[in-house]
A and B are shown apart, each in its own frame.
Chain A
Amino acid sequence: MKRSDLKVVVVDDTAVSRGLITQVLDWLNIEGYRTFSDGRAALAGLAAAPANLVISDYYMPEMDGLGLLERVRKSRGLERTGFILVTGRADPAMMAKGRALGLNNLINKPFTKEQMRNCIEAVVGPL
């Protein structure tokens, strides 16, 4: 996938985590990204303009990352959206639920930029 065509949506309730993710996207020269601070806003943003890939935090108020994934998978037109979950604590239950919902990949915090790149490439193919 050409990185110039890749549209990414980053969802995290803390500005730091959003910044850490977009920093990697900048490093990868992925320009087409938008950021949201909660799942509801991200869904609205995706409905207005779809993306290829969602990179979302797990622990967020109101709607957690898997809740967002579930809604994305059920939304018409968003079924083909790649979804990466970012978490500081990946437990087996979370992973099982993610797999059932069609999670594409999972990355543990903290991550290096190479780890994040590998994680993205594992979903979208070499950049």
Chain B
Amino acid sequence: MAPATDLRAIFFEEAEELLIALDAGLRRIEGGDSGGETVNAVFRAVHSIKGGAAAFGFANLVGFAHSFETLLDDLRSGERAADAVLVAALLDASYHLADMVHAERSETPLDQAVQQRAHEALLAVQDAASQRISIEVPFAAVPMEFAPLPVAEKLFTVDFAPHADAFSAGHDPALVLRDLAALGRAEVTLDQSALTEGFDPSQCLLRWRVRLETDRDEADLRAVFDFIAGHCDLSIREGGADAAPAGREEVSPVAEAAPRPATPARQAAPAETRPEGRPEGRAEPPAPPRATIRVDVDRVDRLVNVAGELVIHHAMLAEAIVRSGRRAETDVERSLDQLKQLSRQIQDSVMAIRAQPVKPLFDRMHRILREAASVAGKQARLVIEGETTEVDRTIIERLADPLTHMVRNAVDHGIERPETRRAAGKTETGVVTIQAAHRSGRIVITLSDDGGGINRDRVRQVAVERGLIPATAELSPSEVDALLFLPGFSTATEVSSLSGRGVGMDVLRSEITALGGRISIASQPGKGTALTISLPLTLAVMDGMVVEAAGQVLILPVASIVETLRPESGAGHRLGAMDPVVELRGICLPVIDVGAALGFRDAPADLAGRICVVVERDDKNTVALLVDAIHDQRQIVIKSLEDNYGHIPGIAAATVLGDGSVALILDPVELLPGRSLLKPPAAPAPAGTARPPIAAE
């Protein structure tokens, strides 16, 4: 029979989970854990995918999964050890299985040749001896004599109080009671106390209590009341009634308001009074598993925006109260403070909804690495650190491509061939490490390899050949490394099949920049290369210091501020014509005049009478930012400038102040002393608009 389409959707959803379990299990096996439960879990994953695929007629998938399963059976039975060859074959098979599932899901068939190669590769690792002959032995059915099932009867107490308007809404309580009684043995008690002299017979003023012994469950009982649900008060409890008289808990307000007693108008059900039984003991329901819900991302995003507005309007309200001169009133002050706490909590909770650990993203890189290594004829393994670091989901989604490129680059250009590594005294298998961490209110992701490092002589040579730098240019090692990010630079003298589909570092950099992030490179000859991406935690609220420079109100992220100092007259030194430095406990820090760096004033201002805010940039360099005044420190909501305008060098984002005006948030890293931020300077300073790379270790 053709399975329903919703089952099909469930199959693909479950297959996705099974593939993740399969991947995790195989990597445990790769790591040396070939314990029974690990192998069984892997086997079950493949087996369940096969079973589902069979029901939907995905013949190729079934065939492949069957061979996969057979190989796993050898492992399970102990006939095969989990050696490197077998594990490699199993990993490859799992990737192909994933591809096949995705192909069926998207209804875009895989290339036949690819499928055949994958299947042959899988069969090749099977021992000929273990090729099982499957014998179809029919199972002889054993008929069963059935005794009537013992009926597990339960006692329910149902209090049913139709609203006064139940009759006019077309309901007949008698019919409802009859249906209820049909579910088991019922004892019905009528409460007619609301019937008073001269009552309105068009109103339903009666209430009933029903004791029902039945094998049905509560949902079945409730179903009886489906139609009248909006016109009655209803209580259904398992067990006998407590000592309270019928109708006490579920008093209909209309009935209460009814006039004096009179004779009953009609009796809808047999009424019989009996002594109330004691309630039967009821077991506590088992704790349900932690519940999750799926929510449309748009809804969360709307909530994020509204929560941001709330924070801004708190600030506006606070300012308005100050202007009204009523701030001193303590209850106003206290309420305002509580409002601030609450809006911050709402903000944090909302952001937490969107935050997700980077683990699933990083886990996907195992496959990328394996395939890249296989094509390049190299050996490499992936080490993941900090995978529980949480990032906004929009960032996670958009990081997949850049990260893939970085992993491929690391294998392609970083890790050496096994023989080269051996000659250099390294292990044949190279190590690529991905790390994630929060630093200075940003997320920092580092991808490092233990390969040969950047061949700076060749990089220089290529840059000269391509006319990117003059042959006479004098570049520091880190400046040479940064040449890799220049458009039009490609290190590949030998273009591998991977580079062919990979991308240049310039594309990688623009991908990261588009996320509001930065990328830098550090390399040590013979030891390896590290790429560091630093990304903002978008849409978050952050603590900002409100400063003023050249008449403009600007925000500095508090997380990056080390300290502030007021240079005394003459404390600053000028090196050359432009770049002043200031001394802080014996260390000279470059001073960046914020007003001048942003072009709000022409000449750099005198240090005297101004304030230096010392900031640590996330590339770990420390600089002093010169501002005219510090106004305030407060929480601010980050607003995108890119949405309606575009990226401005030196500006991270914008925010709305309490008076409704816009203040720009400075990006300390992009503020460089003595350099125009508007246009990249001419070569040989490729790091002009970008940051200088991390100094080579």
Residues of A within 8 A of B (CB): 1, 7, 13-17, 19-20, 23-24, 27, 48-53, 59-61, 77, 80, 82, 88-92, 95, 98-99, 102-106, 109-110, 112-113, 119, 122-125
Contacts and interface: CB of A to CB of B under 8 A. Distances in A.
Nearest to A82: B144
Contact of A110 (B18, B48, B51, B150): B51
A23 B10 contact: no
B137 A90 contact: yes
Given A109-B55, A112-B1, A59 B47 contact: yes
A14 B143 contact: no
B146 interface: yes
B4 interface: yes
A1 B41 CA distance: 38
Contacts of B147: 80
B10 A124 contact: no
Contacts of A119: 141
Nearest to A119: B141
A113 B4 CA distance: 13
Contacts of B616: none
A99 B52 CA distance: 26
A19 B5 CA distance: 11
Nearest to B140: A99
A74 to B, nearest CB: 17
Q: How large, as a class, is the contact surface on chain B?
A: 35 or more
B44 interface: yes
B137 A123 contact: no
B325 interface: no
Nearest to A22: B7
Contacts of A113: 1
A1 B146 contact: yes
B52 A59 contact: no
Interface string B1-27: 101101100110010001000000000
Contacts of A98: 139
B670 interface: no
B69 interface: yes
A104 B142 contact: yes
Contact of A24 (B1, B135, B139, B142): B1
Nearest to A88: B51
Nearest to B15: A16
Among B40, B55, B141, the one with the most A-chain Cβ atoms within 10 Å of its Cβ is B141
Interface string B77-114: 00000000000000000000000000000000000000
Contacts of B3: 19-20, 23
B14 A20 contact: no
A19 B48 contact: no
Contacts of A1: 146
B483 to A, nearest CB: 53
Which of B14, B43, B55, B150 has the most chain A CB within a 10 Å cutoff? B55
A9 B51 CA distance: 20
B509 interface: no
A51 B11 contact: no
Interface string B674-690: 00000000000000000
A82 B141 CA distance: 11
Q: Which 5 A-B pairs have the closest CB atoms?
A: A122-B141, A106-B139, A110-B54, A113-B1, A105-B141
Interface string B350-369: 00000000000000000000
22 contacts: A13-B48, A14-B14, A14-B51, A16-B11, A16-B14, A19-B6, A20-B55, A23-B4, A51-B149, A59-B44, A60-B44, A80-B144, A88-B50, A92-B135, A95-B137, A95-B139, A99-B139, A104-B141, A105-B141, A109-B51, A110-B54, A110-B55
B152 interface: yes
A109 B54 CA distance: 7
A125 to B, nearest CB: 7
B329 interface: no
Nearest to A116: B1
A119 B651 CA distance: 71
Nearest to A120: B141
Contacts of B150: 50, 77
Contacts of B215: 49
Contacts of B52: 14, 16-17
A103 B140 CA distance: 10
